[in-house]
Amino acid sequence: MVAESGGPEDQKPQSDEARSAFVPPAGTMQPVSPPEEDHPTSEFAIPTGVHPEASGSGGSGGGSTGGPNSDTLSSAFTPPSSYNAQQAPPAFTPATGIPMVRLTKEAPWQDRMRTMLRMPVTERPAPESIQRTDDDTGPAVPRVLDLTLRIGELLLAGGEGAEDVEAAMFAVTRSYGLDRSEPTVTFTLLSISHQPSLVDDPVTASRTVRRRGTDYTRLAAVFRLVDDITSEDADVSLEEAYRRLAEIRRNRHPYPGWVLTAAAGLLAGSASVLVGGGVLVFIVAAAGAMLGDRLAWLCAGRGLPEFYQFTVAAMPPAAMGVALTLTHSTDIRPSAVITGGLFALLPGRALVAGVQDGLTGYYITASARLLEVMYFFIGIVAGVLIVLYLGLQLGAQLNPEARFVAYNEPVVQILASMALSLAFAVLLQQERSTVLAVTLNGGVAWIIFGAMARTGQISPVAATAVAAGLVGLFGQLFSRYRFTSSLPYITAAIGPLLPGSATYFGLLGVAQNELDAGLASLSTAVATALAIAIGVNLGSEISRLFMGVPGAVGGASRRAAKRTRGF
């Protein structure tokens, strides 16, 4: 059998020169590999022997955790060993580059934080850690989140708007180095989530606001604490912040109970003078409001809901007005007594906060606040209607035409409006240093309203909106000067503008089965209330047009609150 091999020359061993240096020597197993064209490789392919699913526990991002023969590879998203939470680099660079955002320290923290909240996450500037921690491992995330929630709880319980509460919470977390934090505020629930990195699990905490009270002194103290936390000039550790927060909670109200009762009487008496009452009407209205206030305190001590507290508080002023009607005196206006009592009960603070939340895009919180206002208003209506029905059964001659009686005493009305704002400020537990400013602001509001509605014969609703806008403008300017909340300078100043008369005559029309006139008057009251709330919010926004926009470079415009054109 003849072999298929070549000739004798083919059987000769090859010399070393004829053999390539890359050819394996004879006697070794040659690896069998498919042709390169069948299995193309990429320069980004993972080398053989490296397992991509295994990640190191302590290595730096992009390198192995062990020695040169290690088979593990850490994730590209794992922070390097030199990463510091207090000096973290930007987490993401957009295609257009990092925008030049300069949040000047001269601007109040409210404006700086509100500006960043309205930015997309990818455009927010890098965090500037202000408060130092005990070590270099970063802040204690659970404690920072708990402190943030406690601060937000006090602000929300005090009546602050949802956007300002989120701004305060965002300011606290950024000051302690937590840059990837997102606060969320609803009517009774606050939550905040922090994600340390792109591969770590987020830490989420929440807190429920179960009790709400009106104490603007406490509100101002919380604002000062947040201002110190966000300031580079003050060193506020977590322990110091907790201590100050505990002191704020333990602080007693600045005014005792009897002062609040006297303030309620002064408010009702001043309101009765605004609508044409005299000295006797002032005394009767004040007595009815103080009696209603004491009854409301009694119901609160027994644990009755606020709906019934408003119902009970509305009965004594209405009863005083009906009693004056039964005396058949022509020199006394019973409608002024009932109107004054309504001024002391109308929930102007909750109305302004609800409309403000709706205008800034917090629709869930706005809906809940407005629903609360509606329940309070229904409680007031129920209390007054019960007394009016009883008065009609007893033969009281309540005159709906009294609404057309003109009362033009500018000096007396201006003084009464200032006294009303002063009493309202005391009821809101404001600091004594803010009472004078809000009293003057209330006087200015009534001057503008009287000049437009009485002298200029302009629609009362439009005049109310303009006056409320000026209240919001001056309130924002006062608050920026004092670096505090604007509510103490706004809420009490809108007291003289509340629709007490329209509410009373609307209820009187319903009680006398004149539904058309009654509903028309109630519609005017609702329109006036909405005009107050919208005017206050618009004035606050206009005030920011005169201030430097934090983060604006080259004349950049201010960002919208939530959405633009509904998209």
Residues 438/489, Cβ–Cβ less than 8 Å: yes
Between strands 181-185 and 203-208, the pairing is unpaired
| pLDDT value of position 257 | 83
The sheet with strand 203-208 has its strands ordered as 181-185, 189-194, 203-208
Report the C-alpha gap between 333 and 432 in whole angstroms.
Answer: 34
Cα distance between residue 228 and residue 240, in whole Å = 11
Strand (E) or helix (H) holding 194? strand 189-194
Report the C-alpha gap between 309 and 300 in whole angstroms: 7
Residue 65 confidence (pLDDT):
45
Give pLDDT tens digits for 27-82.
666 655 555 555 555 555 666 655 554 444 444 444 444 444 444 455 555 556 66
What angle separates helix 348-359 from helix 515-545, to the nearest 10 degrees? 60
In angstroms, what CA-CA distances link 124 with 99, 103, 118?
8, 10, 9
Neighbours of 167 (CB within 10 A): 26
Q: Closest Cα partner for 453 from 444, 443, 462?
A: 462
Q: Mean pLDDT, to the nearest integer, of 486-512?
A: 82
Q: pLDDT (tens digit, 9 = 90+) per residue, 304-315? A: 888 999 999 989
pLDDT at 404 over 60: no
pLDDT of residue 81: 63
Question: Can you state the angle between helices 515-545 and 460-482, rounded to 10 degrees?
Answer: 40
Selection from 52-61, 252-261, 442-451 with the highest mean pLDDT: 442-451
Q: Computed over its alpha carbons, how large is the radius of gyration of the chain? A: 35
pTM for the model: 0.70
Please state, in angstroms and rounded to a whole number, the distance separating the CA atoms of residues 180 and 116. Answer: 12
**Mind spelling out the 3-state secondary structure of 306-359?**
HHHHHHHHHHHHHHHHHHHHHCCCCCCCHHHHHHHHHHCCCCHHHHHHHHHHHH
Average pLDDT over residues 463-480: 85
Residue scoring higher pLDDT (424 or 513): 424
Q: What is the DSSP letter of 72?
A: B
Residue 33's pLDDT is 56
Q: What is the pLDDT of residue 2?
A: 46
Measured between alpha carbons, how far is 2 from 524 in angstroms, rounded to an integer?
119
Measured distance CA(157)–CA(149) in Å, rounded: 12
Residue 344 phi/psi, 5-degree rounding, is -75, -10
Burial category of 297 from C-beta neighbours within 10 Å (exposed 0-12, middle 13-18, buried 19 and up): middle
Among residues 442, 520, 285, 530, which one has the least CA distance to residue 450? 442
Task: Write down the H helix ranges in 407-551.
Answer: 410-427, 432-449, 460-482, 487-490, 500-511, 515-545
DSSP string, 410-449: HHHHHHHHHHHHHHHHHHTT--HHHHHHHHHHHHHHHHHH
* Residue 192 pLDDT: 92
Q: Report the pLDDT averaged over residues 119-131.
A: 60
Determine the straight-line distance between the first and last CA of the chain, rounded to whole angstroms.
89
